[in-house]
Amino acid sequence: MFKRTETKHQLSSSRILENERARCISFLSGSYHSVLFETRGRISPFENGMLIISIDVDVGSKELGLINQGKNDRNVSSRLSEYEVGEIEEAALPEFIELFERQEVPATFAIRGQLTEVHGSALETLAKSKVKHDIGAHGYYHRKFGNLSYDQAEAEIKMISHGMQEFGLTPKSFIFPSNSVTHLELLEKYGYECYRDYSNFLHDSMCIKKHGELWEVHPSLLIDRYTKFAFLKRILDVAIKRKLPAHLWFHVRDFGKEFNEIKRNSKKVFVPFLSYSNKKEREGVLTFETMLSAARKAHAVAMTSSNFKPNQQQENRRP
């Protein structure tokens, strides 16, 4: 009895420390990024600021955990099993889809290809959404592409194409599992138009760049349940003022591990922020974009503007 109580206490203490650490990192990230974007200026070719949101769906259904029998766990998470991540996403994805639908905001949902093996998944809900979301690809087994040979990566992309075709879908956006960006030539070969680069404090930015025939829609900020509205508003205001693309991204489980927790946290973060964003969109100073629509907008501008040099960072720092 005593041992069991002690174990529960240790687990509870560990969870509290983990949550406090995540809260601290989120606050530091929001502070850093809001200051960074305010002090870093760019030459913008766009008419308005853009808000882009991308969501990484690493599993999508607990059924994949059963299909793969634990053999794919390490490709998905170091702390949770594939079944557990799938269970979280299966329960919470419809909530995010409904949230974006209510706010009439399109987003890029990066769907893992193997989810096409599951009937009645959130993929079907997404395909029927009233909002025109960008349904992109996120690998097939969520294996790091940096660990795959050319042939292995090509096999996964072929499987994604075949699976998505069963749903009448042809993904044009690609988000690399674990942000392991490589084999870009394969994305070109199979008709993708854009991808998201890796994200970290020093690399995050507000820009869209050309890489060969692909458009790299750069990440600006990883958000989670601790992200403050004040930071998001500040970052969006910079994007509006300088007519830049603000690209926010997250995993479903970044908002919690239980449905009610995720529902509560997603509303706390997104409802005030998207309400403010909608206000700016009505004022005509902001557009809602997916990765694909933003890439196509960049392509259109590049074709008509001699000032837009998409292969360059085009960055000016304030004195």
pLDDT digits (tens, 9 = 90+) for 38-60: 556 566 789 999 999 999 999 99
- How far is it, in rounded angstroms, from Cα 267 to Cα 232? 14
pLDDT category at 313 given cuts 50, 70, 90 is: very low
Q: What pLDDT score was predicted for residue 311?
A: 56
Write the burial class of residue 39 (CB in 10 Å: 0-12 exposed, 13-18 middle, 19+ buried). Answer: exposed
Q: Which CATH architecture has domain 2-308+311-315?
A: Alpha-Beta Barrel (3.20)
- The neighbouring-strand residues paired with 217 are 208
Average pLDDT, the chain: 88
pLDDT surpasses 50 at 252: yes
Tokens, residue 220: 């600006």
Q: How much is the average pLDDT of 119-136?
A: 94
Q: pLDDT for 57-110, tens place per residue?
A: 999 999 999 999 999 999 999 989 999 999 999 999 999 999 999 999 999 999
pTM value is: 0.87
Q: What pLDDT score was predicted for residue 6?
A: 43
Q: Do residues 84 and 61 make contact, with C-beta atoms less than 8 angstroms apart?
A: no
Share of the chain above pLDDT 70, in %: 82
- How far is it, in rounded angstroms, from Cα 161 to Cα 169? 8
Q: What pLDDT score was predicted for residue 44?
A: 77
pLDDT surpasses 70 at 316: no
Q: What pLDDT score was predicted for residue 304?
A: 84
E strand intervals along the chain: 40-42, 49-57, 108-111, 134-137, 173-175, 194-196, 208-211, 214-217, 221-222, 245-251, 286-289, 315-317
Share of the chain above pLDDT 90, in %: 77
Which DSSP state fits 72? T
Domain ranges across the chain: 2-308+311-315
